[in-house]
Amino acid sequence: MDTVHLLPGGAMGREFVPPEFVPDGTDEYYLRNRQLGRELGRPLEDFRHLRAAEIELLVKNGNVADDWDDVLVTDEFDPSRILNSSFHGLVRIGAVSRAALEHHDLQLQVGIANSTISSCDIGDHVAIHNVRYLAHYIVGNRCIITNIDEMHTTNHAKFGNGILKDGETDDVLITLDVINETGSRAVQPFDGMIPADAYLWSRYRDDEALQRQLAEMTQNRYDSRRGYYGTVGEQSVVKNSRIIKDVKIGSHCYIKGANKLKNLTINSNSDEPTQIGEGVELVNGIIGYGCRIFYGCKAVRFIMGNNSSLKYGARLIHSFMGDNSTVSCCELLNNLMFPAHEQHHNNSFLIASVVMGQSNIAAGATIGSNHNSRANDNEIQAGRGFWPGLCTSLKHSSRFASFVLLAKGHYPAELDIPFPFSLLSNNTSQNRLEVMPAFFWTRNMYALARNSWKFGARDTRKQKTQNIEFDALAPDTIEEIIAARELLAIWTAQAKDGEGAGGGDSGGAANAGGAGNAADAGARAARGHELLSSDSRETEGLLVRGEHMEKSRRETIILKPREGYLAYGEMLHFYAAVNLLAYLEAGDGRSYEAMCDALAGERVRSWVNLGGQLVSEADVDELRADIGAGRLDSWEAVHARYDELWQRYPQEKQRHAFAVFVLLHGGRIPARDEWSRFLDRATEIQELRRDRVYESRQKDYENPFRRATYRNDAEMVAAIGSIEDNRFVQRIREETEAFRRRVEAVQAR
């Protein structure tokens, strides 16, 4: 079979669409002509045939064409600016004047030089130089395209979207195999897909009606007809690149030195320009607005959310990278990463996971040793704020609550850690797993407080399609705290009574906390709550063992259980106060009594992190049902529902906070004077946050080993500043004073 076909003369640029896919009464350009008006704002009537004198000058300047009648121009056309180029098929050229374009000190004449143009539409004042082959593209106004080996579009181009064109079979359908290597959670990518969509699609695989509708909605989102041209948006620059095939490029995009770009949508505009740099190879992907991709990166079957960066040789395969994320050097396979994911080191590896945002994967982390069963179908599920330390390795399948910090170590068995804000350690000297609940609150407040602030400050997206909760204390983490306190109570009571299991080789994901019926567990929990809330002597010296947190027979030890329990209580208190304070401030003259009437109700206990947006499980179930039944029949309608839920979220959060407030008072609505004392205590907790932020940062300045690298204190202060100059320390102090004034204003009502 011939692999290189011999075409007759004059065939280049023609019959782009196979005849069987051209509707009766049209020609192969019918879709292209519609794109012309949409992309360039140009009616067909603006173009004319070349005049005899213009053809004569074009030929004199070394240009050739299969048929000069197929080269159309506008009235503003200077043929002297077209040099040593060949034209094939229907080529339409916008204004060409005696002008030049400049971008980053690169200056090129408007016009076409030393290029082969096959069946393209070119906008006004475009510079195309040294393009060996440009075919089936619509190029916007004031673009620069120079030093390109090959840039063309096929008749079945899908521009990275997971759809089928007319006449295609399922075997060519592009999917992203997120979370699981086997493809059992595969999703069909599309331009505009956000982490919430990918999570909804990949998570609820047992909902057959939902799965059918999501696939149908994605296919229906796009025209299945063949013949769409690739586009380059206005004022984009594409230079010094090798192969660009089936790529849709937005406006104000900057591409330089790319090796291969194939089957992509690159979103870009004047407010959020996207840049793609040297040596990258990108295939089958969607790239969001304001992204930056540089220095030898490889990405295949991927989505990058808005305002994200991929740099320094990173490999991104079968993965969704959420908004505001930065990935450098490392390897990422089969992952769904929610917004604000950070992974910067060459020797880190992440595979088969869903990581729910605000995460940081340290150097040497190998979260990919998932071939510890008979198939490669294991997964990692990590809540917000996941932070495995240096040289951490994990076994699949494992699950982690929010804001879990893993100390450096090789964790030999699967894990199920239900304690948020905790420190996990593999104590090899005593052959046991250790968990310190509420570690961030008690030991590293600087990192915790700064976490919410920094991710919000880095959110420079103009188009915020994916709604994101940045606050570390939110309904998802609060419910984890409540459950964690219950476990601490049960296990402390067991320790006091001389009971308690060893390891957890049953692998129980329930973390139920001991044998016996519900009544026994309830009685034990009540006793544990009393022990942990009473004098420290009641629990002093107790060895509290956890259960079902590691698939092994060794012990799991809870470190400082009472301190963690009390810290969790402070976090619940502060969460409730902050959100109820916001409720009272949102309306003129809102009273405590009116607040109690407005917000009273059952506590919503189950929340879903939907790509960064928190939604009650009941609302997610309703969303799924509405999609499955066809009441929401497009992704636009689904996104509108997300936005509707997001608009309701502040009040839902305040209702939840009120329920926590009631829970902290034994299930009853407190009197007004108790509310006032509750706020006073919240002020004390804010002051505690301020002091702990200072103390945790001060440790860096007092560390003698850190100081040893400086000649004296003056050099250290000159190099890194003093703690008093630290902007975040100052910010927390300002917040504390503002919080006190807010509390006093509400109490004065």
Residue 512 confidence (pLDDT): 47
Which residues sit opposite 254 in a β-bridge?
Answer: 237, 275
Tell how strand 315-321 and strand 298-304 pair up: parallel
Q: Which amino acid is at 345?
A: H
For residue 173, pLDDT beyond 80 = yes
Percent of the chain with pLDDT over 70: 96
Per-residue confidence (pLDDT) for residue 39, from 0 to 100: 86
Paired residues of 315 in beta bridges? 298, 331
pLDDT band, residue 510 (cuts 50/70/90): very low
Q: What is the pLDDT of residue 369?
A: 58
Q: Can you point out the beta strands (E) in 28-186?
A: 48-49, 64-65, 71-73, 82-83, 86-88, 91-93, 100-103, 106-109, 111-113, 116-118, 121-122, 127-131, 134-135, 137-139, 144-152
pLDDT of residue 639 exceeding 70, the answer is yes
| Residue 719 clears pLDDT 50, i.e. is over it | yes
- The pLDDT of 410-433, averaged and rounded, is 96
353, 410, 420, 605 alpha-carbon torsion, rounded to 10°:
50
- Integer angstrom CA distances of residue 246 from 98, 177, 260, 633, 666: 32, 22, 11, 28, 63
Kindly give the interhelix angle for 475-496 and 518-533, rounded to the nearest 10 degrees: 90
Say what the pLDDT of residue 249 is: 98
What are 580-626's pLDDT values in tens digits? 999 999 987 789 999 999 999 999 999 999 999 999 999 999 999 99
Residue, of 531 and 520, whose pLDDT is higher? 531
Per residue in 26-76, pLDDT tens?
A: 999 999 999 998 888 888 999 999 999 999 999 999 999 999 999 999 999
pLDDT at 286: 98
How much is the pLDDT for 392?
Answer: 92
Q: What mean pLDDT is predicted for residues 1-5? A: 76
Q: Report how far residue 30's alpha carbon sits from residue 341's, in angstroms, rounded to the nearest whole number.
A: 44
Residue position matching structure tokens 């909760």: 469
**What's the average model confidence in pLDDT over 327-340?**
95
> Among 10-14, 109-113, 168-172, 297-301, whose mean pLDDT is lowest?
10-14
- Tokens encoding 546: 């956890």
pLDDT digits (tens, 9 = 90+) for 537-574: 888 889 999 999 999 999 999 999 999 999 999 999 99
Average pLDDT value over all residues in the chain = 93
pLDDT given for residue 402 in this prediction? 98
DSSP states along 619-678: HHHHHHHHHHTTSS-SHHHHHHHHHHHHHHHHHHHHHHHHHHHHHTTTTSPPPHHHHHHH
| CA distances (Å), origin 197, targets 42, 320, 639, 698 | 36, 11, 9, 43
Residues 6+ apart with CB under 8 A from 675: 592
Q: How confident is the model at residue 232 (pLDDT cuts 50, 70, 90)?
A: very high
Interatomic CA distance for residues 301 and 281, integer angstroms: 12
pLDDT exceeds 80 at position 511 = no
pTM of the model: 0.94
Distance (Å, whole) CA 324 – CA 302: 16
Q: Does the structure show a pLDDT above 90 at 266?
A: yes
- Tell the residue number behind the tokens 């206005």, with chain if given: 234
Residue 214, pLDDT score: 98
Q: Does residue 457 or residue 598 have the better pLDDT?
A: 598
The residues facing 380 across adjacent strands are 353, 398
Q: Domain coordinates of the chain in residue numbers?
A: 28-152, 464-658, 671-749
Contacts of 568 (CB under 8 A, 6+ apart): 437, 438, 441, 481, 484, 485, 488
Helices (H), 11-154: 30-40, 52-60
User: What's the CA angle centered on 343, arms 341 and 344, to 5 degrees?
Assistant: 140
* Nearest partner of 157 among 177, 172, 143, judged by Cα: 172
pLDDT given at position 515: 45
The percentage of the chain sitting over the pLDDT mark of 90, rounded to a whole number, equals 82
Average pLDDT over residues 664-688: 96
**DSSP per-residue string spanning 673-708:** HHHHHHHHHHHHHHHHHHHHHHHHHHHHHH-HHHHT
Lowest mean pLDDT among 81-90, 259-268, 473-482, 693-702: 693-702
Residue 667 pLDDT > 70 = yes
Predicted local distance difference test score (pLDDT) of residue 74:
97
